[in-house]
Amino acid sequence: MIINPNGQTAMTYGKQTALPQTKQTKDEYMISNIDTTAGKRPKKEKFKPAVLLTREAMEATVNDYKRLKLEHVSLMAKMESEKTAVEKRYEERINTVARDIESGFASVHNYCVTHRSELLPGDRKSFETVAGTVKFYDTPHRVEVRGKETLGALAKRLLGLVFNAGTPEEVSCDKYVREADPTVNKDALLADRTRFTDEQLKAMGVRFEQDEIFAIDLKSDLAEGDKTNAENAA
């Protein structure tokens, strides 16, 4: 059914039919004839292999199977070819933007480390901008071996290392060894890292390290907006 632009007549299988003239009736008429299935995705067919009853049907299915496999290979090759073309189309632009991102990040990092006392007085480690948060943050502590001693050799030595033996403050270092290998139990060491003195750590042959990382955390709303702008520009 086709509604004329003037809204007064309709064509139904080649016959011209006058539409009702009252506004309410015309609206009801048009609404009742809207195709409500337009734009809907078809339901996914339920997977159910066909039951073959004859050899002829089986061989015909083998032939069809071969045809479909070849079609699948062809479609996959076509898709990969188109993906390659798209990648080549955007490669130079993406590389240029990536270089600009790295350059901008390095410039901000250098400014912040050379003006840190002005930007971050006292114990502050971050500050806000319109675009996001610029910050320095510490990584979790990790266990490092002092000198050239291997973890295996260190683990065996810790099995017999005791501090303050025979006193209430006695600390037996065998608790920091997983005896199956044996190897150093770094998780146990990290859990007790604040209880050791510098002298004890030197005797144990370990130290606790952590790194400071510089980062720029963009605000999520701006990141989404930038993504939308990029998609529109593309």
DSSP 117-128: HHHS-TT--EEE
Closest listed residue to residue 191, CA positions, set 143, 137, 139: 143
177's CB contacts (< 8 A; 6+ apart) are 155, 158, 159, 183, 184, 185
How deeply is 201 buried, as exposed, middle or buried, from its count of CB atoms within 10 A (0-12, 13-18, 19+)?
middle
- Asked if 223 and 216 touch (Cβ cutoff 8 Å), the reply is no
Q: What is the pLDDT of residue 96?
A: 96
Q: Residue written as tokens 């996914």?
A: 44
What one-letter code names the amino acid at 82?
A: E
Domain positions in the chain = 55-135, 148-181
Radius of gyration of the chain (CA): 36
Task: Reduce the DSSP state of residue 169 to 3 states and report it.
Answer: coil
- Asked if 204 and 173 touch (Cβ cutoff 8 Å), the reply is yes
181's CB contacts (< 8 A; 6+ apart) are 152, 155
164's CB contacts (< 8 A; 6+ apart) are 170, 171
Q: What is the pLDDT of residue 37?
A: 55
List the beta strands (DSSP E) in the chain.
2-3, 9-12, 15-18, 126-128, 132-138, 142-145, 162-163, 171-172, 177-178, 183-184, 206-209, 212-218
Q: What is the pLDDT of residue 229?
A: 52
Question: Which stretches of the chain score pLDDT less than 70?
Answer: 1-42, 222-234
Q: What is the pLDDT of residue 64?
A: 94
Q: pTM for the full model?
A: 0.58
What one-letter code names the amino acid at 56?
A: E
